[in-house]
Amino acid sequence: MALRPQKYHSPQTMVSESSTKNAARLIISPRTLIRIGMLAVWALSAEAQPLERAAVLASMERVADWQLEHPCYVDLRWRSAKNTGFEHMRIDWSGAVVRRRSVGSVPAAHPALTSPWATLVSWTGRDFPFIALPAAVRSTWQRETGLDSSALVSVQLGEEGGTRGWEMGTLYYGMRALANISTRVEYGTALDTIAEANQWALGPRLYHADDQIVGALYLDCYMRKKRVEMLAGVQSRLDWIMAHPAEGSLDVRAGQDRWTWCDALFMAPPVWVKLAKITQDRRYLNFMDREWWATTDYLYSRSDGLYFRDAKFFDRREPNGSRVFWSRGNAWVFAALAMIVPELPEDFPSCFPGA
């Protein structure tokens, strides 16, 4: 068995790495955004001593402060020199190149949003004026490509769903956990503003788990403010899915209308559980439970105690013949369990299946 490694940090290590400079490198990767929330949980645990708790909180606040000043990466696309496709470059807010690759086409834009969380909210889902980008982003792109802005065909802020996608949705989990324990109000204010700007709407794909994760933010807002519009969009989408359940294969190559990849167990199920708790309607819980176990029965290797990332990994082998498991993918599932299990009713049969 081969578990693809990822670099993880203990809370103590995180504290020592949390200067503003290191916070920038930490937070810009979507894979690390949930760490803010992980630290919040640890800081409130019995393991944390008062001085450690204070140090972790200060670290979390520095990282979150950086995030508020550097809201996302920028995706720029231009036609390749040979006119055979497009080039794509992702640059973070400070001007560092995150990746560069050739792509076949320009993605369709998500519906435009209204009301600002500064620049990010105003321009998510539609082309952003090149001249309005941070100077560091403009100069990096021009230096790396040798082109001017007339060559660009697309400039997007966070093209993977923007403020309603999985990357920002993961950040919202961590930022909310921080807002719950920090005395500073700006973190909660930022979340409330982004939710309002999103008009409490989920992503555009009806079934896709990545477009449901942002619902957790709206449901948190509803639990605090009890405004029906904060609940309506999430509830109507999940009601529609239950009335028209996807019935396709769980092989990801057939699509992603069901939870066909292990990350999906983090993206969608906690939202279903949270809505069930708010409404006291177990239909949401039962639907989540059924689909969770369908995905688990399909992707989970009982002999290895790990999830395959998706069906494409079933037959993959390392040079030594061992199976390939994606450690970050399994971490998504474990993080989902940490959020779901405490919210389940004590008499819910799937809490401890087989017990």
- 212/95: higher pLDDT: 212
Stronger pLDDT, 87 or 23, i.e. the higher one? 87
pLDDT range class, residue 24, cuts 50, 70, 90: very low
For 84, the token pair is 């055979």
Range of weakest confidence among 123-132, 266-275, 296-305 = 123-132
CATH class of the domain comprising 199-346: mainly alpha
List own/partner pairs for 139-148 with CB under 8 A and 24 or more apart: 139/95, 140/91, 140/95, 140/96, 140/97, 141/76, 141/89, 141/91, 144/89, 144/97, 144/100, 145/78, 145/87, 145/89, 147/78
- The amino acid present at 73, given as its one-letter code, is Y
Residue 278 has pLDDT above 70, yes or no: yes
Task: Name every residue whose Cβ is closer than 8 Å to that of residue 135 and which is 6 or more positions away in sequence.
Answer: 95
In the block, tokens 């399994």 appear at 330
- For the segment 63-80, the average pLDDT, to the nearest whole number, is 77
pLDDT grade for 28, boundaries at 50, 70 and 90: very low
Average pLDDT score over residue span 252-259:
96
Residue 298 has a pLDDT of 97
What pLDDT band is residue 180 in, cutting at 50, 70 and 90? Answer: confident
Q: Where in the chain is the domain with CATH 1.50.10.10?
A: 199-346
Q: pLDDT at residue 133 above 50? A: yes
Query: What pLDDT score does 300 carry?
Result: 96
Band of residue 309 on the pLDDT scale cut at 50, 70, 90: very high
What confidence category does residue 88 fall into, taking pLDDT thresholds of 50, 70 and 90?
confident
> Secondary structure of the chain: what % helix, strand, coil (to 5)?
55, 10, 35
Average pLDDT over residues 159-182: 84
Q: What is the DSSP letter of 118?
A: H
- The catalytic residues are 263
